[in-house]
Amino acid sequence: MAHLLMSSGVSFEIRASDGSARFASLVTPRGEVTTPAFMPVGTRAAVKAMAPDELRGMGYRLILANAYHLALRPGAAIVQDMGGLARFMGFEGAVLTDSGGFQAMSLAQINSINAHGITFRSHLDGSPLILTPETAIEIQHGLGADIIMALDECTPYPANYERARSSLELTARWAERSLAAHSSGDQALFGIVQGSVYPDLRQRSAMQITSLGFEGFAVGGLSVGEPKQAMRDIAALSATLLPADKPRYLMGVGTPQDLLAAIAMGYDLFDCVLPTRNARNGSAFTSEGQISIKRAVYRRDSQPLDPRCDCRPCRQFTRAYLRHLYLSGEILAARALSEHNLFFYAGLMREAQAAIASQTYQAFSTYLLNLLDGSSKDASTLEN
């Protein structure tokens, strides 16, 4: 199986494969991460409603934080003085930081972009923050994450062909500058492929980014409003364009169904706010599909959220009680639903790893998709 020791000291070894799906080991200075792996989103150095030891207890060894938000508050220098992000937040595991490129799109109303970089007006107090490829790397060096991302421009959807082309060219130039600025010997730097929903632009971007000396590669600019099938088609194409011996990270995806499809494409790492955001909106992922605990049908329901789940909320609480907590505005509702959803996602990854290792991934995925899609209690999915 492929084994790669990166210059940062991070190593990546593919232990088993089943079709394009890979079961691998990503070893970081703060421990091993087995993949496929889902990263809970801790944008501001905290996964909403969850304590770090709870995340570790579920099996999470890698979480995501955001350089833009942490540069504003508390500041990279403070985090560095506190021993880096993992120690600052009390997480016994590895951390990946996004560069802030996504905020170029999500906070478009308070920033401007040119060849030099992104000029933000802080969403906190309006003060300026200039994020360039060089400063994004400097901030992430200070934060001390194990895996850091090159600054990119996350292409919005919809974007016409010329807009998407100019965006990926800017991302390519910023990728070269990010690499030139990267001097930390114990942080792995990943590059990001853009190109919107245009296959030839994705091919062009992948050729540009993979020709550079990155230690892993991400596919960005998906799950930003494009049709579901377009997202899956572009994700599938992009996976074939990335080196087989390096980690592949599909950014911002997604639902359990999307994760199962992306694992089959050959992706290793994922992140998304869905488990915690949907929890705060009263929605739970279960082995029988997604349910909205707000519905009146659960008012006298004595079952756990998911009869097949062994998480603490499912062992302790009924659907009726969780509905009461949610409708009463109790913080415990968000805590319990977030814990359940993250437990569900962690279990999904473990089961996927086992299925790949035993060469049964297709059967496993088909079976689970039939459960998730065929028995879904609530068809609607909240925003991601």
- Compute the distance between CA of residue 280 and CA of residue 326 in angstroms, rounded to an integer: 9
Q: Does 271 qualify as catalytic in the annotation?
A: yes
Count of Cβ atoms closer than 10 Å to residue 3 Cβ: 12
Stated as kind and residue range, the H or E segment containing 362 is helix 361-374
Q: What angle do CA 187, 193, 194 make, to 5 degrees?
A: 135
Residues 324, 298 contacting (CB under 8 angstroms) = no
Q: Does 301 qualify as catalytic in the annotation?
A: no
User: How many secondary structure helices (H) and strands (E) does the chain include?
Assistant: 15, 17
Residue tagged active-site, from 152, 268, 271, 306: 271
What long-range pairs does 134-139 form, CB within 8 A, spacing at least 24? 134/177, 134/178, 134/181, 136/67, 136/99, 136/100, 136/101, 136/178, 137/99, 137/178, 137/181, 137/182, 137/189, 138/76, 138/181, 139/67, 139/70, 139/71, 139/76, 139/100
- Compute the distance between CA of residue 204 and CA of residue 165 in angstroms, rounded to an integer: 9
- Compute the distance between CA of residue 36 and CA of residue 354 in angstroms, rounded to an integer: 10
Residue tagged active-site, from 98, 146, 152, 268: 98
Instruction: Quote the distance between the C-alpha of residue 206 and its chain's center.
Output: 20
Count of Cβ atoms closer than 10 Å to residue 145 Cβ: 29
Instruction: Give me the active site residues, please.
Output: 98, 271
